[in-house]
Amino acid sequence: MAISRSENMRRIRSRNTTPELLVRRALRQLGHVGYRLHRADLPGTPDVVFVGRKKAIFVHGCFWHGHECAEGIRKPKSNEDYWLPKIRRNRERDSEHARVLEDGGWSVLVLWECGLSDTDSLLRLLDEFVTAKARGTA
């Protein structure tokens, strides 16, 4: 029996995705455990937030957020008139949320799904981001 389109879309999660869980596992491995998840009171509802350090991490799926990698530039197989403008709006909204956070003194890190496979690079990047001094401090 074939899965209907709506059933398939219902199975796609927006929180606690595999890439997001991978990032959280890496943060715990590094000893960075004082974070909060999905802060709806911040623009864009960042996936991981270090409130005291004013650091926000977004973990984006390449297709849904229009990354310029092989997966991100792949065109939808059906209903392009709906999906292409939606993905373009997602990109615009993501940029706006990052700008508002940065204007508020937050440091923002965007991690793309395609870049999470190199564990050593991910660990290094996360550690540098979390331990770096906050913007505008001595």
Beta bridge partners of 60: 112
Instruction: State the pTM of this model.
Output: 0.86
CATH architecture assigned to 39-131: 3-Layer(aba) Sandwich (3.40)
Which residues lie below 8 Å from residue 75, measured CB to CB, with a gap of 6+? 84
Query: 120: which 2 tokens?
Result: 């050593």
Q: Model confidence over 54-65: pLDDT tens digits?
A: 999 999 999 889
* Local structure of 31: helix, strand or coil: coil
Q: Residue 106's pLDDT is what?
A: 97
Query: 93: which 2 tokens?
Result: 């909204």
Collect the ranges in the chain with pLDDT lower than 50. Answer: 138
Q: Model confidence over 84-94: pLDDT tens digits?
A: 999 999 999 99
Q: How far apart are the first and last CA of the chain?
A: 62
Q: Residue 25's pLDDT is what?
A: 97
Q: Residue 89's pLDDT is what?
A: 96
